[in-house]
Structure 1
Amino acid sequence: MNTCARYALFFQYTGTLYRGAVKVPSDQLGKKGVQDHLEEAIRKLQPLNPVSLTVSSRTDTGVHALSNSAHFDLQRMNGKPPFAEDVLVQALNFHLRNELIRVTRAHRVSDDFHARFCALSRTYVYRLALGVPHITMLPLTEKKLCWNLVDRTLDVGAMRAAAALLVGKRDFSSFRAVNSDIRLKSGVKTLDVASVQPGSSFVHAHFHREMPFWELTFTSRSFLYKQVRRMAGALVAVGRGRLSLSELQELLEARDSLAYPQGLAAPAHGLFLTRVDYRDSDLQLPPCSSTGSPQGSLS
């Protein structure tokens, strides 16, 4: 008997090298999406079933992830039992060794688990480096991993007041990308967290000059297309004195993506998806659903 097992997968990647998190259509040449590489790694495990990964969070080109998630089904050949979770992680990372993608953990889950719809919340962190007039002045370890601003200081008090305006159930249509293919859908989302806090960097204590880092954190069950980058850009504009609190409120109330000022959105390379949270019970296989003993090796 061949047992088909469903797994929840958590993985991280440096987004600079990929065309976003999800699969790139076969008719588009160039870089692949993170999903393309993950599915290739799964196919090398020689499953009986077609490989199809469902990614929870569709990050854009250039956006990074410390913890994105997905689910997939895997049926092994010759009646072999499902992979043990740690063995699956090691096997996938072996096949991903030439990519800046790493699987961090796997969970055997029930057949009705869905990585996207079961997610309770998603957290994004946007990283800022101050006093850096050009990207070439960043430490190599920070290249393409933060937004370098020429400003040496920002009005953090105003930014925190602006962040407070965004928290709660709001219509964020003004913060949705103009070219979004879902513009006709509701723009109402509930933003649970919007915070402005000092950040950190390994080189901060070792670099030859002062370079303050700040982090903008946003948590919600889901976000509109490019909503986080647009919110981050608006908070930075407030911190720079280029957007007032009343103007931000007016922008929010406009509920129109065309009202968002051109050139204000934060660039992709400073954004990290840091968490996708689920109920603990969703990441556990009910005893009655377990068929087949986990396999402790690839043999």
Structure 2
Amino acid sequence: MGRYLLFFSYLGNRYRGLQKQVKNSNVLDVDCVQGALESALLTLKPQLLNPPVFVPSSRTDAGVHSLHNAAHIEIESAKGLLYHPVTVLRTLNRHLLRCKHEIRVLQCIPITNQFHARHSAKSRTYLYRLMVAKKFGDRGAPICEMNRCSLVGYENFDIERAKEATKLFVGLRDFRTFAAVNKGERQIQYRRVISDLTIERGSPLLPNDPLSDNFDFWDVTCKGKSFVHNQVRRIVGALCALGAGRVTEKDIVTMLQVPSHNNWNPRITPASANGLFLVKVEYDPLEIEKNTINFKESTFFPPEEELRK
């Protein structure tokens, strides 16, 4: 069975998240990103001998986008040969395009079983796009920003106050208050490290759209090795509530110093999913190089064989 590292991007507003929602591995779930990719893998020629195994580096909720997510897949072919990475890449993208999925595979690398998409990741970077009306009550947002940005509708929003508060989250913290309630049996480690959290002026997707002039755009960038469920959206929600004057810095400090699901401030609303992007998952390039399979062409189905079919 061959293992491959996939890098891929997607627009998440039409999917119920990255991960499959059904437990049966033999059931396709094309309403999620994983299910759509698994469905595409089943179109490989020669046909797979096994249901594809899909292990993502990071899970994203419904509506969350990704510019550069990663996963490793395990697939088995006939004759004990590996699928050529060019074949996998082109077959997946051809199927995704044919089915009108908003998913694109960027890269396919054959790797050893020692490389794990989730455990080998060194850091993950998220971007949250905010759109603040220059005039309160102006909700005539540019159409191209729909499901790509979150509108801040608070009057007298103080972005400088939100910027100053980013330092409260940096470093090792217990983010239990900023995590969704765990409904599963798996134990969650809530102590996580945020290495970088910034708010910088952003830009509209289409600067020539006349409606874009009515808004200020801000990019909230958050980087860390790993995150708990809903952590970034709750942090952004807290920063927006602070900038709007709905909470104080002391309120946020209390949520951090007394971590509890019951300590979430009700005056804070978690930021919506549609403004959040997983920008990239970072790996050690040397580790990828070390675990990349250096193959002879005879161990792979030649890509030309697939292209002729």
What TM-score does the superposition give when structure 1 sets the normalisation length?
A: 0.89
Distance in 1 (CA, whole Å) between partners of 2:207 and 2:183 is 37
Moved over 6 A (4+): 27-31, 132-136
Shift of 1:264: 1.6
Q: How far does the alpha carbon of each residue in 1:171-194 deviate from its partner, in whole angstroms, 9 at most, with x for none?
A: 111101135536853310010111
The reply on whether 1:115 has 2:120 as its aligned counterpart is no
- Tell me whether 214-223 or 124-133 shows the greater mean CA deviation: 124-133
Q: Which residue number corresponds to residue 242 of structure 1?
A: 246
Amino acid in structure 1 at the alignment position of 2:93: N
Distance in 1 (CA, whole Å) between partners of 2:138 and 2:18 is 25
Q: Which residue number corresponds to residue 48 of structure 2?
A: 47
- Tell me whether 281-290 or 170-179 shows the greater mean CA deviation: 281-290
Shift of 1:286: 4.7
- Tell me whether 16-25 or 197-206 shows the greater mean CA deviation: 197-206
Match of 1:190 among 180, 188, 193: 193
Amino acid in structure 2 at the alignment position of 1:295: P
Q: Which residue number corresponds to residue 59 of structure 1?
A: 60
Q: Which residue number corresponds to residue 129 of structure 2?
A: 127
- Tell me whether 32-41 or 73-82 shows the greater mean CA deviation: 73-82
Amino acid in structure 1 at the alignment position of 2:243: G
Q: Which residue number corresponds to residue 72 of structure 2?
A: 71
Amino acid in structure 2 at the alignment position of 1:38: L
SS of the residue aligned with 1:219?
Answer: strand
CA contact (8 A) 1:108 1:285 kept: no
Q: 1:86 and 1:288, CA in 2 relative to 1: closer, same or farther beyond 3 A?
A: closer
- Tell me whether 204-213 or 48-57 shows the greater mean CA deviation: 204-213
Q: Which residue number corresponds to residue 219 of structure 1?
A: 223
The reply on whether 1:99 has 2:106 as its aligned counterpart is no
CA contact (8 A) 2:3 2:110 kept: yes
SS of the residue aligned with 1:202?
Answer: coil
CA contact (8 A) 1:134 1:150 kept: yes
Distance in 2 (CA, whole Å) between partners of 1:37 and 1:275 is 20
Distance in 2 (CA, whole Å) between partners of 1:42 and 1:285 is 26
Q: Which residue number corresponds to residue 147 of structure 1?
A: 150
Amino acid in structure 2 at the alignment position of 1:249: V
Q: Which residue number corresponds to residue 270 of structure 1?
A: 275
Distance in 2 (CA, whole Å) between partners of 1:107 and 1:29 is 24
Q: How far does the alpha carbon of each residue in 1:20-59 deviate from its partner, in whole angstroms, 9 at most, with x for none?
A: 1011116899972110010010111122233111111111
Shift of 1:211: 1.8
Distance in 1 (CA, whole Å) between partners of 2:160 and 2:265 is 22
Q: 1:204 and 1:288, CA in 2 relative to 1: closer, same or farther beyond 3 A?
A: closer
Amino acid in structure 1 at the alignment position of 2:92: L
SS of the residue aligned with 2:218?
Answer: strand
Shift of 1:153: 5.8
Q: 1:95 and 1:288, CA in 2 relative to 1: closer, same or farther beyond 3 A?
A: closer
Distance in 2 (CA, whole Å) between partners of 1:287 and 1:220 is 25
SS of the residue aligned with 1:203?
Answer: coil
CA contact (8 A) 2:81 2:300 kept: no
The reply on whether 1:168 has 2:141 as its aligned counterpart is no
What TM-score does the superposition give when structure 2 sets the normalisation length?
A: 0.87
The reply on whether 1:34 has 2:33 as its aligned counterpart is yes
Shift of 1:137: 2.3
Distance in 2 (CA, whole Å) between partners of 1:224 and 1:280 is 25
CA contact (8 A) 2:114 2:291 kept: no
Identity of matched residues, %: 33
CA contact (8 A) 1:135 1:143 kept: no
Distance in 2 (CA, whole Å) between partners of 1:139 and 1:19 is 25
Shift of 1:259: 1.0
Distance in 2 (CA, whole Å) between partners of 1:196 and 1:246 is 20
SS of the residue aligned with 1:212?
Answer: strand
Q: Which residue number corresponds to residue 21 of structure 2?
A: 24
Cα RMSD, aligned residues only: 2.6
Distance in 2 (CA, whole Å) between partners of 1:24 and 1:288 is 32
Alignment: residue pair count:
295
SS of the residue aligned with 1:67?
Answer: strand
Unaligned runs of 5+ in 1: none
Distance in 1 (CA, whole Å) between partners of 2:129 and 2:145 is 10
Q: How far does the alpha carbon of each residue in 1:211-260 deviate from its partner, in whole angstroms, 9 at most, with x for none?
A: 21111111111101111110010011111121211111111111012211
Distance in 2 (CA, whole Å) between partners of 1:158 and 1:196 is 11
Q: Which residue number corresponds to residue 8 of structure 1?
A: 5
The reply on whether 1:210 has 2:214 as its aligned counterpart is yes
Distance in 1 (CA, whole Å) between partners of 2:278 and 2:30 is 20
CA contact (8 A) 1:17 1:62 kept: yes
Amino acid in structure 2 at the alignment position of 1:94: R
SS of the residue aligned with 2:88?
Answer: helix
